[in-house]
């Protein structure tokens, strides 16, 4: 099916949304089924999609007490520059699917919240229009089949004023997203990937029997031959900070740092690539320990609250990216909805910091955590048995 436009007149009042789950429900109420599935769905049987949340829910924090938390500061350093909280908006394709202003509205909200906004290669708004808003803008890059095109896009982003490049490394091709296949999902004519195809119609707009038209299009555009040699080439061609997104193995994170990468994003693409990949939060501690401060470590996939941000910090992250929640906010209430999502994360993080005995984000990185359940714990951590038949527990974190 070619997707329809979001239902008019169904936008929620942003100030009535008290959690990101509220925002998701409000978005679901106004989005056509095909678009809702495109945003919410994962690959295969969606086991990794579900595991991302389950893994966060297994992490528990040991709060500290008798500390002065009369003032809790959420500010953080992201790629050498201050942000009001250790959060960036992740790259998400085709945001005009959910709201007419698409990425423009989301980027304005990110600017107001004081956090970076990441423009996707598959944005429906040109990068130049987004950087013109004056906020912090990163550009996400897919390596493209046509020789030289990825580097051209990187130069375009740099010329437009982006302050970082984020190379996605876990998409040799799009994972098999069965919701889109069953829906025979295709983009409406008004939604275009303006950085590709000259902004014109493409295979993504042509319904394909028993297939996702978006997957057909990206299969034509994305290179499956991306290697470390291309990372070195990109590093040599740009002066901007470089992030690699889609790293789950400590060995790859260490090598990224050796190649001069400024940050790795521990990510399973929100459960949309390899179904069966481990949850990002499970991969995080080993990666953070392995790089040892040689580059920043960010995390995405499954972050749904300020408490989740706290957990990621405690397990070694410099910060997190959020993808679906801002899109839900955009669908539910436009720019105000995205602002609400980021405001909720900020308020929840401030609350979580104080209740955990942390006055700053740096304090949160010294918290200890317990991970309970059968899948608990990074390799090498000391396990504590909960008794016969009881849940396993693994301690992690600083003193």
Q: What is the percentage of the chain residues whose pLDDT exceeds 90?
A: 88
Using the predicted structure, report yes or no on whether residue 105 has a pLDDT greater than 80: yes
Residue 168 forms part of a structural domain: yes
Using the predicted structure, report yes or no on whether residue 111 has a pLDDT greater than 60: yes
Residue 6 forms part of a structural domain: no
Encode pLDDT of 261-305 as tens digits. Answer: 999 999 999 999 999 999 999 999 999 999 999 999 999 999 999
Residue 9 forms part of a structural domain: no
Across-strand partners of 383? 394
Residue 5 forms part of a structural domain: no
Q: In this predicted structure, what is the pLDDT of residue 8? A: 43
- Pairing verdict, β 383-384 and 393-397: antiparallel
Residue among 68, 78, 24 at smallest CA distance from 313: 78
Residue 286 forms part of a structural domain: yes
141 burial level (CB within 10 Å; 0-12, 13-18, 19+): buried
For 311-322, what is the mean pLDDT?
Answer: 98
Mean pLDDT for the chain overall: 92
The residue range of the domain holding 393 is: 14-397
Q: In this predicted structure, what is the pLDDT of residue 198? A: 76
Residue 71 forms part of a structural domain: yes
The beta strands (E) that lie in the chain are given as 59-62, 76-78, 81-83, 87-89, 117-119, 137-141, 164-168, 242-247, 263-266, 296-299, 319-322, 368-372, 383-384, 393-397
Encode pLDDT of 151-170 as tens digits. Answer: 999 999 999 999 999 999 99
Per the structure, how many domains does the chain have? 1
The beta strands (E) that lie in 162-241 are given as 164-168
Using the predicted structure, report yes or no on whether residue 184 has a pLDDT greater than 70: yes
Pick 375 or 111 by higher pLDDT: 111
Residue 284 forms part of a structural domain: yes
Sign of the Cα pseudo-torsion (351, 357, 363, 368, in order): negative
Q: In this predicted structure, what is the pLDDT of residue 381? A: 38
Query: Residue 13: which pLDDT band, with cuts at 50, 70 and 90?
Result: confident
Q: Which residues are catalytic?
A: 269
For 185-205, what is the mean pLDDT?
Answer: 92
Q: Look up residue 120 and give its DSSP letter.
A: P
For 86-95, what is the mean pLDDT?
Answer: 98
For 3-32, what is the mean pLDDT?
Answer: 81
For 182-211, what is the mean pLDDT?
Answer: 93
Q: In this predicted structure, what is the pLDDT of residue 11? A: 58
Q: How many CA atoms lie within 13 A of 247 on its CB side?
A: 31
Using the predicted structure, report yes or no on whether residue 182 has a pLDDT greater than 90: yes
Residue 59 forms part of a structural domain: yes
Encode pLDDT of 122-157 as tens digits. Answer: 999 999 999 999 999 999 999 999 989 999 999 999
287-292: list long-range contacts, CB under 8 Å, 24+ apart: 287/247, 287/248, 287/249, 287/250, 287/253, 287/316, 288/315, 288/316, 288/317, 289/250, 289/316, 290/250, 290/251, 290/253, 290/254, 291/250, 291/253, 291/254, 291/257, 291/264
- CATH of residue 118's domain is 3.20.20.70
């Amino acid at each position: 099916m070619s997707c329809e436009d979001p239902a008019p007149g169904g936008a929620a009042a942003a100030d009535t949304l008290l959690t990101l789950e509220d925002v998701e429900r409000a978005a679901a109420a106004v989005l056509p089924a095909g678009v809702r599935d495109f945003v919410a769905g994962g690959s295969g049987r969606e086991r990794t999609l579900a595991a991302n949340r389950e893994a966060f829910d297994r992490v528990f924090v040991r709060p500290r007490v008798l500390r002065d938390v009369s003032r809790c500061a959420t500010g953080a350093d992201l790629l050498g520059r201050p942000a009001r909280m250790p959060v960036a908006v992740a790259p998400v394709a085709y945001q005009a699917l959910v709201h007419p202003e698409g990425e423009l509205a989301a980027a304005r909200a990110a600017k107001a919240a004081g956090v970076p906004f990441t423009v996707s290669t598959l944005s429906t708004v040109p990068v130049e229009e987004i950087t013109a808003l004056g906020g912090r803008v990163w550009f996400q890059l897919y390596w493209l089949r046509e020789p030289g095109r990825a580097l051209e896009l990187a130069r375009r982003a740099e010329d437009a004023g982006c302050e970082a490049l984020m190379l996605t490394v876990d998409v040799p091709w799009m994972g098999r997203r069965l919701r889109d296949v069953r829906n025979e999902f295709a983009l409406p004519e008004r939604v275009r990937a303006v950085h590709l195809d000259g902004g014109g119609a493409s295979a993504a707009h042509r319904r394909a029997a028993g297939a996702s038209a978006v997957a057909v299009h990206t299969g034509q555009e994305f290179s499956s031959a991306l290697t470390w040699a291309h990372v070195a080439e990109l590093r040599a061609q740009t002066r901007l900070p470089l992030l690699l997104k889609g790293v789950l193995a400590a060995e790859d994170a260490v090598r990224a740092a050796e190649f001069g990468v400024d940050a790795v994003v521990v990510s399973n693409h929100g459960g949309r690539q390899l179904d069966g990949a481990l949850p990002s939060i499970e991969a995080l501690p080993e990666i953070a320990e392995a790089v040892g401060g040689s580059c920043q470590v960010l995390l995405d996939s499954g972050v749904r609250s300020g408490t989740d941000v706290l957990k990621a910090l405690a397990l070694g992250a410099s910060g997190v990216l959020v993808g679906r929640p801002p899109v839900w906010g955009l669908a539910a209430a436009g720019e105000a909805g995205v602002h609400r999502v980021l405001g909720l994360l900020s308020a929840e993080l401030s609350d979580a910091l104080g209740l955990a005995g942390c006055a700053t984000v740096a304090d949160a990185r010294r918290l200890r955590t317990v991970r309970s359940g059968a899948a608990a714990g990074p390799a090498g951590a000391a396990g504590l048995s909960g008794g016969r038949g009881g849940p396993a527990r693994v301690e992690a974190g600083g003193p």
